[in-house]
């Protein structure tokens, strides 16, 4: 239980009235002491609340290291490159990539510096712990936010896994012929949903994404997604940006068949029935609107190179192993299947690949046979 956060939020509602859902979600996940993530408890993996492609094993990191190596070669092997991750949780993916560089990609070893964007002191400590043995081999730097990282001259490979789905969302619902926005109120000391008439800012977003005005239709809108991808674009002079997450292009995300929205609350590997219950002790997440990241990234100078699912992307990167040119263990195969099987991460998770100032001829293996992006919302 985390009664302090519930009490704090309840008092806020008593003092100032119902709060917008994204502000409730911000506190539930990132309250400095009691937030689900910022409290520093183990959240991912078998002993946490849910599995992610990272906590499933080291293969994702090993395959990404191949992509970094190919990109480094395409740039003519510059003497320094910057690997940058946001939302690293315990730092497992960064450790898997660096370990793969040591074993399989010696040309990257002397060239790579790692930068982690991490606002939470508790998670920074966990990451330092995970990466301790690698710190003598690679320069590793932590930054509280993107502002404290000055844009780098050296080429940058920026990646995140299940980061954007955890950015707070606003929720709109169409009811009795008009759009409402969902707020959080109190009833007998329990948090309850409250519909308020939707204001013009959220109506503009619903219009931008052609969200169908169907009775009962719910849609999440993520206020910080555009600012985030534009800030990533600003950080990089030249490089690749990989965003790995569950999500869809906007016409599929806001499709009439997905009328209940995508907000999910998770705890101990189960969906819970009430996203408002026990804030700080359950995860809250919603699908990513990939069209938004493509369009807003373009505004910051990121060219969209392609969007592909885990199954296709990782199968392409694993080609030398799958074709028998390189050996692998049973354990490796199980981890790979978990990442690519349609019943696990293979079809739910997508990788958006964006690039800035890269050679026109460069087409990353992760996207081979994928044609250029269609980033329209219609
Ligand atoms: C679902 S977890 C994913 C963790 C890890 N990347 C993985 O795939 O196992 C989401 C992570 O994003 C982090 N996060 C959310 N917003 C962030 C932000 N603005 N800056 C850095 N990390 C953030 C959370 O603290 C949490 O560790």
Model pLDDT for residues 304-352, shown as the tens digit of each residue: 999 999 999 999 999 989 988 888 899 999 999 999 999 999 999 999 9
Q: What are phi and psi of 211, to 5 degrees?
A: -70, 130
Q: Is the pLDDT of residue 376 over 90?
A: no
State the CB neighbour count (10 A cutoff) for residue 307.
24
Task: Look over the chain and give the mean of its residue pLDDT values, rounded to a whole number.
Answer: 94
Q: State pLDDT tens for residues 205-251.
A: 999 999 999 999 999 999 999 999 999 999 999 999 999 999 999 99
For ligand 1, whether the C-beta of 64 sits within 6 Å is no
Cβ-based neighbours of 215, under 8 Å, separated by 6 or more? 174, 175, 176, 177
Q: Ligand 1 centroid to 125 CA: how many Å?
A: 14
**CA-CA distances (angstroms) from residue 271 to 163, 253, 266?**
19, 20, 5
| Ligand 1, atom 25, residue with closest C-alpha | 37
pLDDT digits (tens, 9 = 90+) for 117-164: 999 999 999 999 999 999 999 999 999 987 777 766 899 999 999 999
- CA–CA separation, 209 vs 228, rounded Å? 18
pLDDT average, residue stretch 167-190: 97
Q: What percent of the chain has pLDDT over 70?
A: 97
pTM exceeds 0.85 for this model: yes
Ligand 1 atom closest to the CA of 44, numbered from 1: 9
Residue-wise pLDDT for 58-78, tens only, equals 999 999 999 999 999 999 999
DSSP character at residue 372: P
φ and ψ of 87, to 5 deg: 80, 40
- Given this model, what pLDDT does residue 276 score? 98
| CA distance linking residue 212 with residue 44, whole number of Å | 35
Q: What is the pLDDT of residue 377?
A: 44
Nearest CA to ligand 1 atom 14: 87
In the chain, what is the greatest distance between 2 CA atoms, to the nearest angstrom?
Answer: 66
Q: Is the CB of 39 under 6 A from ligand 1?
A: no
Q: What is the pLDDT of residue 268?
A: 85
Burial 72-92 (b: 16+ CB within 10 A, else e): beeeeeeeebbbbbbbbbbbb
For ligand 1, atom 11, name the residue with the nearest CA: 87
Residue 159 pairs in a beta bridge with: 85, 242
**Cα dist from 37 to 122, 216, 313, whole Å:** 9, 31, 29
CA distances from 135 to 69, 120, 141, 360 (A): 20, 20, 10, 35
How far apart are the CA of 166 and the centre of ligand 1, in A? 7
For residues 370 and 307, give the distance between their C-alpha atoms in angstroms, rounded to a whole number: 8
Q: What phi-psi label fits residue 88: left (phi over 0), alpha (psi between -120 and 50 degrees) or beta? A: alpha
- Answer yes or no: is the C-beta of 266 below 6 A from any ligand 1 atom: no
Residue 172 in 3-state DSSP? strand
Cβ 245 under 6 angstroms from ligand 1? no
Question: Of ligand 1's atoms, which has the minimum distance to the CA of residue 53?
Answer: 8
Closest C-alpha residue for ligand 1 atom 8: 161
pLDDT in tens, 250-297: 999 999 999 999 999 999 888 999 999 999 999 999 999 999 999 999
118 touches ligand 1 (CB under 6 Å)? yes
Residue 124 Cβ inside 6 Å of ligand 1? The answer reads no
Q: What number of other Cβ atoms are within 10 A of residue 150's Cβ?
A: 9
The protein residue whose alpha carbon is closest to atom 23 in ligand 1 is 87
How far apart, in Å, do the first and last CA atoms of the chain sit?
44
Strand partners, 66: none
């Amino acid at each position: 239980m985390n009664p302090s956060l519930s009490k704090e939020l309840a008092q806020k509602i008593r003092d100032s009235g119902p709060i917008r859902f994204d502000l409730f979600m911000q506190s539930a996940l990132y309250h400095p002491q009691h937030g689900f993530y910022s409290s520093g408890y183990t959240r991912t993996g078998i002993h946490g609340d849910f599995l992610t492609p990272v906590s499933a094993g080291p293969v994702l990191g090993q395959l990404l290291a191949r992509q970094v190596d190919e990109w480094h070669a395409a740039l003519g092997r510059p003497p320094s490159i910057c690997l940058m991750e946001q939302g690293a949780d315990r730092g497992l993916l960064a450790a898997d990539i660096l370990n793969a560089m040591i074993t399989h990609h010696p040309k990257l070893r002397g060239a790579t510096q790692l930068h982690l964007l991490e606002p939470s002191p508790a998670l920074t400590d966990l990451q330092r712990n995970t990466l301790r043995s690698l710190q003598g081999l690679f320069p590793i730097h932590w930054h509280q936010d993107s502002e404290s990282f000055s844009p780098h001259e050296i080429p940058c490979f920026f990646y995140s896994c299940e980061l954007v789905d955890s950015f707070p969302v606003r929720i709109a619902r169409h009811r009795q012929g008009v759009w409402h926005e969902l707020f959080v109120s109190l009833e007998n000391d329990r948090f309850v949903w409250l519909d308020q008439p939707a204001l013009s800012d959220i109506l503009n977003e619903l219009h931008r994404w052609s969200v169908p005005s169907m009775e009962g239709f719910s849609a999440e809108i993520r206020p910080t997604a555009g600012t985030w991808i534009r800030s990533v674009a600003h950080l990089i002079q030249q490089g690749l940006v990989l965003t790995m997450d569950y999500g869809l292009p906007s016409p599929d995300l806001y499709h009439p068949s997905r009328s209940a929205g995508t907000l999910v609350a998770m705890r101990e590997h189960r969906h819970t029935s009430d996203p408002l219950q026990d804030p700080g002790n359950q995860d809250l997440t919603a699908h990513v609107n990939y069209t938004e990241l493509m369009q807003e990234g373009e505004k910051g100078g990121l060219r969209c190179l392609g969007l592909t699912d885990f199954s296709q992307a990782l199968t392409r990167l694993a080609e030398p192993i799958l074709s028998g040119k390189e050996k692998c263990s049973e354990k490796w195969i199980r981890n790979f299947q978990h990442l690519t099987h349609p019943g696990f991460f293979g079809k739910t998770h997508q990788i958006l690949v964006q690039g800035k100032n890269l050679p026109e001829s460069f087409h990353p293996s992760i996207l081979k046979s994928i044609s250029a992006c269609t980033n329209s919302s219609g």
